[in-house]
Each structure stands twice: as structure tokens, then as C-alpha cells.
Amino acid sequence: MGEASLDPRPAMPVTPDQEAGLPATLRRNAPLVPTDSAASRALAAVIAILTFLAALCAGAAEIVASSANQWQGSVAQEVTIQVRPSVGRDIDADVARAESLAKATPGIASTRIFSKTEAERLLEPWLGSGLDLSDLPVPRLVTLKLAESPPPDLKGLRGSLSEAMPGVASLDDHALWLQRLSTMANTFVGVGVGIVTLVLIATGLAVVFATRGAMAGNREVVEVLHFVGANDDFIARAFQRRFFRLGLRGGIIGSCLALAVFALAGLLAQVWRSGPAGDEIEALFGAFHIGWRGYAAVLLIGVIASVVTGIVSRLTVRRFLR
């Protein structure tokens, strides 16, 4: 760019003395838009930072979406029967009867009865530990693991429980919790997409100001180019190629830094997994592995940043030249 002859007329030999008298930006093999200036390095750094932030948002959204899918898959494979204590009834007998009804239902792979102690332990996160809950009517739980085939007849099981133990046993298929989880994951992904969009817009604005500054600094060169017959497309292409290279450099740096952060987070997750809170961290965030879709999104953001840089610079130059 800028290295080919700018004069459409037949090339005339230029003596060393004549070339020495030309401005530096008009000499042979000198680029129209300098790329090794302080302003160019600053713009590449800004693009790298913005790309890094956008890639982090995209990777975090992918982690949340993957974790939500895993949670939904795990929860959707289980349903729960809740048996409430009732005056004049033997709760242990009611629990055993609920389990027998579940086992007789097609599509139920296995069942597990939570003991009274286990049921009380489930309330500790809300009530605290060390409390005597023996006088409280703590419901008993029976978890059912669903089989892949045949499809479970949850509607029939719910009817059987209502008929056998009305007002005592109820079936929870976690549909409300799954809906809320899906809404939360979709909201987070939407916020991530919005942040990435705002970052790309900020990148475009930075390129606009940088391009206008470069045009103002090279106003005399542009006038000379017009004088010798160069059209607006030639000048716009020159700026587009230079700024595209700056954007590509910044996008690659930002994307590589984001990938390094995710790789470091994965290593730290493996270290934390061996600690006391490792199970909780892995259950919430997985292994901090963004998968192939996350890697593709991070790299795509770097490419998009460079493309946005080139297109915005070209449009800015053409508008400036008008």
C-alpha cells in the first residue's frame, strides 16, 4: 500500500537529488499511512484491550451457557416425591408406598429414599446447623431417576399419588426451576452479546478518531495525490489496508490474551478441585473449559475487530474526502 507509483502518467526517472528534496511521506517506497508511529501503536493497543474484554465476555457467556445445559440435563433426569407428615398417619409407611408406586411406573430407572436425618440436613443452609428439628413436620423425600426409554409416565404417577395419598404426597418435576435456570442463562448470554456489541462499537469509534487524525496529519499528501490524479478509492484503500493490519494485530493480541486467561483459569480450577470447595466450584462453573464454540467465538471476535477497523477507516476516509 502506497508502495506503487501514485502518478497515472508514464513513470519518469527521479534523480537522487530530486528524491532527496521530496517530503519523507512522498518518497518512493514510503507508506501513505505510517504504521510504526506512536499513534498507530496506541490504536493497536486500544484495539487489543477492547478485543480482550469482548473475548472475555464471550467466553464467560459460553461457560455459563454450557454449565446451564449441564444443570438442566442433570435436573431433568430426576424428579422428586415429597411426602408431608400428617396427623394419624405413619410417614414411613407413606414413604414406602410412594416408592412402590414410583417403581411400578414405566420409565423410572431407580429410586432413593431420603432418611429423616438427611431431610433435616437439607434445611441447614437456611436454618443453620445444630438445631433440633425433631418437633418440626419436616417432609420426607423420594428421588426418582428417569430412564431414557420408555418415556416416564409422570402424569400417571402424579394421579396415582393423589389417589393413594391425597394431600400427603406430591410430585415435583422441577419444571419451574428449569424454566428459571433457562431464563437466567439466556439473560446472561444476551448481556454478553450486548457487551461484545458495545465493545465493537467502541472499537469503531476509536478507529474513526484515529483515521480522522491521520487524514488531518496527511492533508498535504492527500492534496498532492489528488493533484497527480489519484482518486478517492485509491486513498481510501490505502488507509483501509493500513488500519486493517493494525486491527488484525490488536485483535490477535487481545484474542491470545483472552485464551491465555481461560487456560490459566482451567489450571486453577484443577487445583481448586482438590480442595474442600472444589465440588461446589465445579458444580457451578464446570472446569472453566469454553469448548470449541468458545474458542471459535474468541478468535472470531479478533477477526471481526480487524474487519470493523478496515471498513470504518475506509468509510471515514471517503466521508472526509467529500
Condensed to tens digits (0 to 9), the pLDDT of residues 259-284 reads: 898 888 877 777 766 655 555 555 55
Mean pLDDT of 134-141: 79
This prediction has a pTM of: 0.67
Distances (CA, A) of 175 to 50, 77, 84, 181, 237: 39, 12, 21, 10, 56
How many angstroms separate the CA atoms of 39 and 35, rounded?
A: 8
Range in 44-48, 81-85, 177-181 with the lowest mean pLDDT: 177-181
Residue 72 CB burial class (10 angstroms; 0-12, 13-18, ≥19): middle
Instruction: Check residue 49 and give its pLDDT.
Output: 92
Higher pLDDT, 27 or 75: 75
pLDDT at 80 over 50: yes
Confidence of residue 253 (pLDDT cuts 50, 70, 90): very high
| pLDDT for position 120 | 78
pLDDT per position as a tens digit, 84-104:
888 778 888 888 888 888 888
Residue 34 confidence (pLDDT) above 70: no
Per the document, the length of the chain is 322
> Would you state the pLDDT for residue 256?
92
- Give yes or no for a contact between 288 and 262, defined as CB atoms under 8 angstroms apart: yes
Mean pLDDT (the chain, rounded): 77
25 against 57, higher pLDDT:
57
**Which pLDDT value is given to residue 52?**
92
Q: With a cut of 60, say whether residue 23 has pLDDT above it.
A: no
196 touches 60 (CB < 8 A) = no
Highest mean pLDDT among 4-18, 62-76, 182-196, 228-242: 182-196
Cell 464471550 found at: 58
What average pLDDT score do residues 251-265 get?
89
| DSSP-derived secondary structure letter, 186 | H
Query: Quick one: pLDDT band at residue 318, thresholds 50, 70, 90?
Result: confident
Quick one: pLDDT at residue 273? 65
Contact 282/266 with Cβ under 8 angstroms? no
3-state SS, residue 143: strand
Task: Specify whether the CB–CB gap between 298 and 59 falls below 8 A.
Answer: yes
Least confident of 145-154, 171-180, 276-285: 276-285
Q: What confidence score (pLDDT) does residue 221 get?
A: 73
Lowest mean pLDDT among 114-118, 122-126, 130-134, 248-252: 130-134
Q: DSSP letter string over 283-322?
A: HHHTTS--HHHHHHHHHHHHHHHHHHHHHHHHHHHHHHH-
Task: Give pLDDT, residue 302.
Answer: 87
For the chain, the farthest-separated pair of C-alpha atoms sits apart, in whole angstroms, at 113
Letter string b/e over residues 23-42, b meaning 16 or more CB atoms within 10 A of that residue's CB? eebbeeeeebbbbeeeebee
Distances (CA, A) of 195 to 39, 58, 146, 297: 26, 9, 39, 14
Q: With bands split at pLDDT 50, 70 and 90, how would you rate the model's confidence at 152?
A: confident
**pLDDT tens sequence across 46-58:** 999 999 999 988 8
Residue 157 has pLDDT above 80, yes or no: yes
Residue ranges of E strands in the chain: 78-83, 108-113, 140-146, 169-172
Q: Which three cell numbers stand for residue 10?
A: 508514464
Q: What's the pLDDT at 282?
A: 58
In angstroms, rounded to a whole number, what is the distance separating the alpha carbons of residues 322 and 117? 80
Helices (H), 77-167: 91-103, 116-121, 124-127, 154-164
